[in-house]
Amino acid sequence: MIKVVLVRHGQSQYNAQNLFTGWTDIDLTDNGKEEARRAGEILRQNKFVFDVAYTSVLKRAIRTLWIILDEMNLLWIPVDKSWMLNERHYGDLQGLNKEETARKYGEEQVHSWRRSVSVRPPALDKSDARYEGKDPRYKDIQELVPVTENLDDTEKRVLRYWKEKVEPSLHENRRVLIVAHGNTIRALVRYLDEIPGDGIATLNIPTGTPLVYELGDDLKPIRRYYLEKYEEKASVAEATKGAPDVRSE
């Protein structure tokens, strides 16, 4: 049985303030750190062990991973960090309050920017101080740094990374942990469960809650489940109706 565990980072400072985050490099809140610790504890209690971990180059995901691995006494395992696992880029919305933006542009427009797989938010101007193109962590990919993304754009880079980095590890029977972001994990869920079009629009990925995929030798899902119940019940089960044995534990 091949298993891969996906974890969205713990609550970030922008999550707590209800701000669009995207590629903005925001740290965890104290609550987010506790969510990460609890995720590590749950994984350890359920006897999970990992051979390799993957994460983005954003500190909220990196710190979540560190805390999880520390809780599991696995800080020594190899970790690969990649911009391809970064959160979806929210363009000119980054740093703006979601409620205020909805009042300005209308809830329907903002919902489309947030949830549609094909609609991009307004682009960020490259002269804007928020533009990440001059950040040293992206010095080798400056021409690829986005100014806005939809979920399809995000999925393309995430799946490239999945196929180039993660799939080979899974085929080698390495036990894999991925700590990333809400939209990068949504992109993986959409791919793994073959969810069509905007069928992913209602799926929310909870912070700090391990999502386990059990895969066959062909890396197709046999079942998937959360290791801890959460209150925000727009669950994987709701977004993947018809898939086999979907449940939340």
The residue annotated as part of the active site, out of 9, 71, 89, 181, is 9
Question: What's phi and psi for 53, nearest 5 deg?
Answer: -130, 150
Q: Which of 137, 138, 167, 154 is nearest to 54 (CA)?
A: 167
Q: Is position 87 annotated as part of the catalytic site?
A: yes
d(Cα 19, Cα 161) in Å, to the nearest integer? Answer: 27
Question: How distant, in Å, are the alpha carbons of 18, 69, 89, 205 from that of 92?
Answer: 16, 34, 9, 23
Strand partners, 212: 5, 225
Nearest Cα neighbor of 213 from 205, 225, 201 is 225
End-to-end alpha-carbon separation of the chain, Å?
18
**Catalytic annotation, pick one of 35, 71, 87, 132:** 87
**Residue 89 annotated as catalytic:** no
Q: In degrees to the nearest 10, what's the CA dihedral of 75, 78, 83, 86?
A: -50
Name the residues annotated as catalytic. 9, 87
